Amino acid sequence: MPLTEGNEHIYRRNYSPLCPYCDFKIGLAKWDLYELYEENDHFVDCPNCEREFILTTEVSFRFSTDGLSNKKKLEENKNDKNQG
């Protein structure tokens, strides 16, 4: 179902872009569209229906500090600093 007033939530914050005209799910790697990973607005031609639309890329970061392997790396780093 193409984009209409009332269903715009379907087209927000997806892991893969969705064409607002034909609902085609655009695989960035398959279509060599890696520049779309950069945070910004992009003009995109749908590979399926060839219509142009604006895609907005949003970037978010998550950080983890709970891994046991981190403890080992921290100890190694501390030892390297003490030796150097």
Domain residue limits, the chain: 1-84
pLDDT at residue 24 in the model:
94
Report CA torsion sign: 71, 72, 76, 77.
Answer: negative
Q: Is the pTM of the predicted complex or chain greater than 0.75?
A: no
pLDDT digits (tens, 9 = 90+) for 18-74: 999 999 999 888 878 888 888 999 999 999 999 999 999 988 888 877 777 777 888
Most confident of 2-16, 38-52, 70-84: 38-52
pLDDT at residue 50 in the model:
97
**Cβ-contact 34, 16 below 8 angstroms:** no
DSSP secondary structure letters along the chain: ----TT-GGGGSS-SS-B-TTT--B--TTTTT-GGGGSSEEEEEE-TTT--EEEEEE----------HHHHHHHHHHHHHHHH-
